[in-house]
Amino acid sequence: MERIGEAAALEIARHLPTRYQEVTTPQGTAAANVPAEQPVLATILRAGLPFAKWFAAHV
């Protein structure tokens, strides 16, 4: 069930607006697309927890 939630969250994240930005990494700077705005996560019951977990780790 968690894997299905992660896959669905990835599909949702592909449609979020992004912007191009230089980010600092341990190996230097890199160009990356980052979210244009910080998404707000709200889950309803336990069914939404896999979405929130994926977004918190990847966005």
For 26-54, write each residue's pLDDT tens digit. 999 999 988 899 888 766 767 677 777 77
Distance CA 36, CA 30 (A): 17
Instruction: Please name the residue that has the structure tokens 């992660």.
Output: 6
The per-residue pLDDT for 14 is: 87
Would you list the domain boundaries of the chain? 2-58
Mean pLDDT estimate for the chain: 82
Q: Between 9 and 36, whose confidence is greater?
A: 36
The per-residue pLDDT for 1 is: 66
The per-residue pLDDT for 10 is: 82
Q: Between 18 and 39, whose confidence is greater?
A: 18
| Residue 50 identity | P
Tokens matching residue 41:
């996560």
